[in-house]
Amino acid sequence: MTLEKPLSIELRLPSKLGFEKIAMQTAASYATLLGLGLDRVEDLKTAVAEACINAIEHGNHGDEKIIVGVILSMDHERLEVKVLDHGSGIQHAVLPPDIDKKILGEEDPRGMGMFLIQALVDEVEWVSNPPEGSYARLVIYLDREKH
């Protein structure tokens, strides 16, 4: 048993809403231990929570027996998070919410998760890899600040 990368950590969660809060705290304490500044830790928490919610709801269809995987790793330049599910992934682009349309009832009030992830991290990609599953890969650069 070895880890994918040096000093990486892995978390496996059941696909049940609420468990994204655990991923959020685990990511926060990993990032804090490795020196990420407080405001970027907040960005990371929200992005990881949203990616896990999508993996739980859309990737694994809320089947509690199926695992959501979270792999956190870091080098001198970047913190990377992979959130893995067993679904077929995402085929469409990220749509920025149109708040006026939402308020007028012309757009679903939901549908902001992927937008928020993209807005809060420095890099994101969604990779489909059936039959193994899919993952979102989020990256935060360390040099945007020195705390």
CA distance readout (Å), 22 to 11, 14, 18, 68: 9, 11, 8, 12
Torsion of CA 105, 107, 108, 111, to 10 degrees: -150
Q: Is 6 in the site for a copy of itself (CB under 8 A)?
A: yes
Nearest Cα neighbor of 52 from 135, 109, 120 is 135
- State which of residues 43, 87, 124, 142 lies at the interface with ligand ADP (CB under 6 A): 87
Q: Taking contact as CB under 6 A, which single stretch among the options 13-21, 40-48, 73-81, 82-90 is the one that binds ligand ADP?
A: 82-90
**CB under 5 to 8 A by kind: which of a copy of itself, another protein, ligand ADP, none does 85 bind?**
ligand ADP
**Chain residues in the site for another protein (CB under 8 A):** 16-18, 20-21, 24, 32-35, 39, 42-43, 46, 49-50, 53, 97-100, 102-105, 108-113, 115-116, 119-120
